[in-house]
Amino acid sequence: MRRFTSPLEPDIGFRHYLLGLVAILIGVYFLGASLIGLLISTKFPAGEIQGSFSDAQNLFSKNEFFALNMIPFALGILTIAFCSRLIFKRPFRSFLTARPRFDFTRFFFSFGLWSTLMMVSFFITFIDLNHQVRWNFQNEHFFYLLLISIILVPIQTGFEEILFRGFLLQLFGKVTQKGIYLIGINAVLFASVHLMNPEVDTLGAPAILYYILSGVFAALITVMDNGLELSWGFHLANNLFGIVIVTNDWQVIRTDALFKDVSPPGLGWDMYVTMFLFYPLMILVFWLVYRWKNWNKVLLQSK
């Protein structure tokens, strides 16, 4: 991933990305859905499959259903790796970063910084609303959840980052080199695929705003840093927190986390702090640490 483009040979162009996108959709939605359907069918007597996919959640433990939902993401990463060799004929790494190798220092710095900010926000909320956040530790479930989360959540977040901030950013980079347009397109696409999440039905417009601004933040730090190490670290910390630390009964994935938020559904003050204070603060920290330059050239000018 060079600045909005990739180190491709001259004959690798827009059509190759479209072909790759079709392959990814087949891998995630067709193969992934088929495999999940096959595993769900094992819970029914032969020929007696009934109910919707959401009804199937009652057939599995929370940990089993969580692991089941991770299958398409694993297939998605494998499909992108397959396409990188067969269609693009370049290293899989080129969808992750423009650097010679993936920068784990950047990745863990972003992961640690966002984890710290979320813990601060959570404990302030816990002190303020302690009657609405309950201790939910269940020894027989939690450590299994922790194990599969450490293995599977990096895959889930990795696929989303590689698809949106790697593959699609480069795809639309074939159309425009202006960073501000790429960030906007990427954010809208990222929010669009989350519209079917139950959080949107429950919270409405504020949830959509959260997804859009999160998409803007992730795309911005990817564009400015010329790689998705920072975005992936942030995304992983964010999802692990919502899976392992605190859960509720209205989010897309419900787990046996350490804490359970039993307050009425709503976008609390902490989420507005996240969007309008923590995101700008993270951008400032990254700008200072990694000495980002040429904001005007990167965001507003075409190459």
Per-residue confidence in pLDDT tens, the chain, 303 aa: 544 443 333 346 788 899 999 999 999 989 998 898 888 888 766 555 555 555 667 778 889 989 999 999 999 999 999 999 999 989 999 999 999 999 999 999 999 999 999 998 888 777 665 558 889 999 989 999 999 999 999 999 999 999 999 999 989 888 888 889 999 999 999 999 888 888 888 888 888 999 999 999 999 999 999 999 999 999 999 999 999 999 888 887 889 999 998 887 877 778 888 999 999 999 999 999 999 987 877 887 665
How many degrees, rounded to 5, is the angle at CA 251 between CA 27 and CA 281?
Answer: 90
Task: Indicate the pTM of the whole model.
Answer: 0.91
Query: Does residue 266 sit within a domain?
Result: yes
The alpha-carbon radius of gyration of the chain (Å, integer) is 20
pLDDT of residue 125: 75
- Parent domain of 99: 14-300
Cα 78 to Cα 142, 198, 244, 247, distances in angstroms: 28, 28, 26, 29
N residues, the chain: 303
Q: What pLDDT score was predicted for residue 150?
A: 96
Residue whose token pair is 């939910």 = 136
Q: How many CB atoms lie within 10 A of CB 142?
A: 17
Residue 291 placed within a domain: yes
The answer to whether residue 4 sits within a structural domain is: no
Q: What is the pLDDT of residue 48?
A: 55
| Cα Dmax for the chain | 62
9 assigned to some structural domain = no
pLDDT at 149: 96
Question: Using an 8 Å Cβ cutoff, are 241 and 48 in contact?
Answer: no
Name the domain count of the chain: 1
In angstroms, the CA 293 to CA 253 distance is: 39
pLDDT at 199: 82
pLDDT of residue 10: 38
- Does residue 54 fall inside a structural domain? yes
In contact, 282 and 113? CB cutoff 8 Å: yes
Would residue 6 count as lying in a domain? no
Residue 51: the pLDDT is: 54
pLDDT at residue number 265: 80
Residue 2 lies in a domain: no
Is 3 within the bounds of a domain?
A: no
C-alpha–C-alpha distance, residues 179 and 177, integer Å: 6
The residue written with tokens 């790759």 in the block is 20
